[in-house]
Structure 1
Amino acid sequence: MNKSNSVKQLIRFITTGTLAVTTDSICYYLLSALLSISLAKSISFLLGTCVAYIFNKFWTFEKKHFSSKELFKFLLLYSLTLGANVITNKSVLFILEEQFIFAFFIATGVSTVLNFIGQKWWVFRSDVTNDSRPMLQRGEKYTINS
């Protein structure tokens, strides 16, 4: 993968993330009036996750075909980062009481970093290797040509 493609992906990831965070924050604000803070945060995070999956799969990382393995990896990654997001949010609120917006952005920042790393290098990773040598077939021997 070349550097310009990585920059393009990062810009698209940030744009998609902004849309997902907007979804998350609006839902969090609305749901927190009706539910416990942790439940509201969990639901809002999951709604933002749906937005992130659709845009990152088809636009950021340009994966056009459905893959159940890819979906499973994405859901596993987001399950783990959901835990990090909720725990971070609750921890910041414990330390800095009533810093609702600050806690939201710190929790979002933690999960954003974890999600980009996980999506780029695990979930939506290209199967192309950087090695220019052809893969050996079963039973073949590798020889070095001088």
Structure 2
Amino acid sequence: MRRRGFSFIELVIVLAITLLVAGIAVPRMSNASTRYQADYAAKKIVADLDAARGNARLRGVTQTLTFNVIKNQYTVTKSDDGGTAVNEFTVDLAQPPYGATITSANFGGASVATFTGYGECVAGGTVTIRIGSITRTITLDDASGKARWQ
């Protein structure tokens, strides 16, 4: 006589295999989420550095990004025609969707990336951010003024 269905032993084996695969996949997925957040924060900084460079050249005014390592923020500032600094916006990397910590920011000894009215950077440097165990470094090339992350 042929039985239909499956036995209790077969059910236990299938559940054990499923739990084993899930136990392997879940930590990898959470680490992938952290990597994605770190990449996203690094891309945001690179985009803002590139935008500041482009705006400085377009408007013919000085643009700066001032990094505050203690508050995990940076502020984009432009100079108006009279040379007065005007804050455009502040990005708080500690808040969602980033959740990042700025571990260092150094542009020629200062934590300020400055672009002249010609779009040239005054001093190249790096910004390092961390989320959990994931670290990303953003580099501003002083010769070209281009930013990249790794």
Question: What TM-score do the two structures reach when normalised by structure 1?
Answer: 0.35
Structure number with the higher helix fraction is 1
Structure number with the higher strand fraction is 2
Question: What TM-score do the two structures reach when normalised by structure 2?
Answer: 0.35
Q: Indicate the structure (1 or 2) with the bigger Cα radius of gyration.
A: 2
